[in-house]
Amino acid sequence: MLSRKSDFYYYIILSLNDILDVNGRIGVILSNSWLGTVAGKEFFKALSFYFNIKTIVISGNGRWFQNAKVISSILILEKKERFEEIQKNPIQFLVINKKIGELNSSEISSIANSILSSASNSLVYSIEYSLPKVESYLENKLSLNTLFYDVTWLDDVQSVLVPLTDVFTLIRGMRRGWDALFYPEKGHSIEGTYISKILKNTKDTINYDTVADADAFCCSKTIEELEELGHNGALGWIKRFETGVNKVGKPLPEVLGNSRQLWYEMRSDGATAEIITSLNPGKRLFWAKLDSNAFINQRLVGLTRSVKYSDESVDLLQALLNSIIGLFFIEASGFGRGDGVLDLSAHNVKQIKMLNPSHLTNEQRVSILIKFNKLKSTPIPNTLEGIESRERMEFDEEVLRSYGLIDNYEKIKLGLTRMLKTRLSVND
């Protein structure tokens, strides 16, 4: 019933059913990571089989435990009379807006009353969904982390969405495990034939159009072949690390070697990306376009267009990915870590949906691109600040108007804003 990647505490929580009387309740404090993972979705299904899920609580203002970087959540469960019994009452998703260490006894009582009454106030934001509605959102690849906010607007959007993988092939970043070896700093003397351009991260990505400007060492030749060719630059580079050890003292040739490749080998014949985003974005959510297809580091995830989309379509596709709905789906696919960054996985990104470009007329495509080009003329801002900029609002309104969704604009913006503020509050 549970994923093989389940945390051990999943099993402990499920076993608590055995010590409860029927209608007995239990509250558990656990990490928030389960709210944004595939294993967490399986855990939720198991919970709904054994219990009535009453309330899930998270912090909207910093960590609850300052001596730990883990972000916490609270789960309130009620034992069913029979496992096959369908939960009738809605599930409450509640966000506490004030720092927990600053709450007085009266405010704590008020929050407790909000949990009992499902009412929002200045201290909490509360929303309820029926179990079937939650399950429908999970089937549409949203994370549980998204449901602490009003996402009912998604019901109006489903007909104009398409799976990301219908439009793009997803590219995983190159991963090898010893950056000093595989990403040489400038000034090295390695022969050009063993160097491929790569984008290592988005830290220095200022604009929506970017370049892969770092070097990656990609050599599949043996030492003997390099000596025969007289390629002393590559040979010298390999020998620099031949006697090196990792952080626990193991020799690099032993750690990095395997039956499929040389210990110093990173293959350069993999797929390349033309549009990228970070797997751990902080304050900025965006999809950037590379000036030419290039390799990307494991910290990134990339996209390349399906063959049915022409070269001329790439700017429109990038525009749709960067619309407010596109940014929402990035945020909705992960969970916030203790350092405030969003924790995504390539698997979760692969589940994302996007606005269907086929729904647009030629006139709408042109209008969207005009607004997107104005947005692209400015550096990528922090999303919370940029979401209110004139260029961003005009662009988002044009996109939503083209899809007949303009009436949902304020709801979408408010939901995305609240999600970002909650995640970033750990750094306040």
The CATH number of the domain holding residue 104 is 3.40.50.150
pLDDT category at 270 given cuts 50, 70, 90 is low
Q: What is the pLDDT of residue 83?
A: 86
Among the candidates 232, 256, 280, a domain finishes at 256
Please determine, for residue 173, whether its predicted confidence score (pLDDT) is greater than 90: no
**What is the amino acid identity at position 7?**
D
Domain assignment present for residue 232? The answer is yes
pLDDT bucket at 234, cuts 50 / 70 / 90: very high
324 membership: H or E segment, kind and range: helix 324-331
pLDDT at 32 over 70: yes
Residues 6+ apart with CB under 8 A from 388: none
Burial class (CB in 10 A: 0-12, 13-18, 19+), 193: middle
Residue 216 pLDDT greater than 70, yes or no: yes
Tokens in use for 410?
A: 């304020």
- Does one domain contain both 42 and 123? yes
> Is the pLDDT reported for residue 266 higher than 90?
no
Q: Domain range for residue 144?
A: 8-148
Among 230, 256, 282, the domain-final residue is 256
Looking at the structure, do residues 68 and 186 belong to the same domain, yes or no? no
Does a structural domain hold residue 267?
Answer: no
Contacts of 217 (CB under 8 A, 6+ apart): 181, 182, 183, 184, 190, 194, 195, 234, 237, 264, 266
Judged against a pLDDT cut of 70, whether residue 269 lies above it is answered with no
Mean of the pLDDT values across residues 271-287?
94
Instruction: Based on the fold, state whether residues 239 and 364 are members of the same structural domain.
Output: no
Mean pLDDT of the chain: 91
The two three-digit tokens of residue 219, written as one number? 């050599």
Give the separation between CA 97 and CA 109, rounded to whole angstroms. 15
For the cut 80, the answer to whether the pLDDT of residue 17 exceeds it is: yes
- Any domain includes 131: yes
Q: Which residue in 347, 321, 260, 285 sits closest to 37, CA to CA?
A: 347
Say whether both 276 and 423 belong to one domain. yes
Are 376 and 402 members of one domain? yes
Least confident window among 34-38, 316-320, 416-420: 34-38
State whether the Cα torsion 381-387-389-395 is positive or negative. Answer: positive
Are residues 293 and 243 part of one domain?
Answer: no
**pLDDT tens for residues 348-372?**
899 999 999 999 999 999 999 999 9
Q: What does the pLDDT read at residue 122? A: 83
What pLDDT shows up at residue 285?
A: 97
What is the predicted pLDDT for the residue at 174?
81
Cα separation, 321 vs 289, whole angstroms: 11
The mean pLDDT of 271-278, rounded to a whole number, is 92
Instruction: Indicate whether 2 belongs to any domain.
Output: no
Please indicate, yes or no, if residue 387 is contained in any of the structural domains: yes
pLDDT in tens, 81-136: 888 788 889 999 999 999 888 999 998 999 988 888 877 788 999 999 999 999 99
Asked if 81 and 143 sit in the same domain, the reply is yes
In a shared domain, residues 278 and 250: no
Do 284 and 421 belong together in one domain? yes
Residue 156 lies in a domain: no
Cα–Cα dist 340/388, whole Å: 21
Q: Who has greater pLDDT, 55 or 272?
A: 55
The predicted model gives 148-162 an average pLDDT of 93
Q: Is 309 domain-assigned?
A: yes
Is the pLDDT at 186 greater than 90? The verdict is: no
State both tokens at 303: 């996209």
Domain count, the chain: 3
Which residue(s) pair with 295 in the sheet?
A: 198
pLDDT of residue 300: 93
Report the distance separating Cα 120 and Cα 29, nearest Å: 21
Q: What's the pLDDT at 116? A: 81
Same domain, 323 and 421: yes
Q: Are residues 232 and 284 in the same domain?
A: no
Give the pLDDT of residue 268: 62
The Cα-based distances of 320 to 158, 160, 333, 410 in angstroms read 15, 12, 17, 18
Query: From CA 354, how far away is CA 94, in angstroms rounded?
Result: 28
Q: Extract the tokens encoding 350.
A: 């692969």
- Same domain for 422 and 286: yes
**For the whole model, what pTM was predicted?**
0.88
Domain presence at residue 233: yes
Last residue of one domain, picked from the residues 256, 282, 302: 256
Q: Has residue 5 got a pLDDT over 90?
A: no
